[in-house]
Amino acid sequence: MGVLVLELKNKLYDKLVFIHLTKTAGGTLKSEVGRQSDINPLFVYDKDDWGKYDDSTHDVIYGHPDTWLFGNVGKEIPGVSGRIKYIAFLRHPILRTISHYYHLRNHDEGPVGKKIRQFPDINVFFNESYHWEFENYFCRILSNHENVTSNDNMESKFLSAMDILGGDRVFVGFQEFFDYSLQRLNHEIGFKLAPDKNINIGGYSLFDVSDETIGLIKRLNHFDLRLYKTALSDFLDEMD
The domain locations on the chain are 6-239
The CATH code for residues 6-239 is 3.40.50.300
Confidence (pLDDT) at 10: 47
Confidence (pLDDT) at 198: 59
Q: Are strands 41-44 and 60-63 parallel, antiparallel or unpaired?
A: parallel
Q: Which of 131, 153, 127 is nearest to 140 (CA)?
A: 153
Say if CB 56 and CB 1 are below 8 A apart.
yes
Look up the pTM and report it. 0.91
Q: What amino acid is encoded at 18 in this protein?
A: F
The share of the chain scoring above pLDDT 90, in percent, equals 71
Q: What amino acid is encoded at 5 in this protein?
A: V
Q: Write the DSSP symbol of residue 143.
A: S
Residue 3: pLDDT band with limits 50, 70, 90: very low
Q: Which of 56, 220, 42, 61 is nearest to 133 (CA)?
A: 220
Question: Region 220-228: what's the mean pLDDT?
Answer: 99
Q: What amino acid is encoded at 112 in this protein?
A: V
